[in-house]
Amino acid sequence: MKIFNFFFLFFLTVSALILNCGCGSLPDVSGMVANMPPPRPTQITTNKELLPPEKSASVMEQLKVSADQTDILQRHNALMESVSKVPLTTGNKVIILIDGQATYDAMFKAIGNAKANINLETFSIEDDEAGRKFVDMLLQKRAQGVQVNLIYDSYGCANTADSFFQRLRDGGAQVVEFNQQNPFKSHDNWSLLHRDHRKILIVDGKVAITGGINISQVYSSRHSGKPQDDSSAMDWRDTDVQIEGPAVAEFQKLFFRSWTRNMG
């Protein structure tokens, strides 16, 4: 066992060095747009249907009204569709959630209004005041018959005891650990660098909230882990968005793709 631990720690160290080296610089993409082939017509979907080509073209023209005469928007959309493998959608309502407090308020409201299902995917959820409030609300909705599914990242929650998640399991919620740190327990192609940094809440397939905010008291306190009377404390700045409309279905697809790949 000691030999295994030694080699495992050695592997983690080497992997961390590789990660640090890999993040040293960004690739040069300055010529990407210039070298792209002529853009194909953009397809746009609504919450009801795929728009006909002429309607999609009309929407694109409306978006170009206030822009210079350039095809950069068309090329940008084509590039985004190529990378994401999902269509451009229209008819969405988007609300910017300026910080952790605004985000948590919106998430608690969405969870409180849930009627059928709650899907939550996060890199980190801590066993602190904020994390326990989320668990309390999720268990309350589960007791009301709402399906609750949670995906958390193994590395991001390394300091959160399994008993924290067991409380959810005992209450009837389904909990999946993304890419377990122990390679022998992983259900996918294991890699230390394969981490789930998504932060997504989807409620009833109608509302999605996503951005950079994890579930931790540090986000709700506005300060980066320092006492509020500390003169060196700076406001903790991160942002989420709340989305309603056809784009929510794409978030559902992302969630269930991670879910199926990490199920035991």
- Region at 172 (left for phi over 0; alpha for psi -120 to 50; beta for the rest): left
Q: Which residues make beta-bridge pairs with 153? A: 178
DSSP string computed for 216-258? SHHHHSSBSSS-TT-TT--B----EEEEESTHHHHHHHHHHHH
Q: Taking residues 120-138, what's their average pLDDT?
A: 95
pLDDT at 90: 82
- For 58-105, the pLDDT digits (tens) are 877 777 665 555 566 677 777 677 667 777 788 899 999 999 999 999
Where are the domains positioned within the chain? 44-89, 93-262
Q: Which residues make beta-bridge pairs with 203? A: 118, 207
pLDDT at 32: 53
CB-based burial label for 68 (10 Å; 0-12, 13-18, 19+): exposed
Cα separation, 223 vs 211, whole angstroms: 18
Claim: this prediction has a pTM higher than 0.75: no
Question: Which SS3 state, helix, strand or coil, does residue 165 take?
Answer: helix
pLDDT at 5: 42
- CATH superfamily, domain 93-262, is Endonuclease Chain A (3.30.870.10)
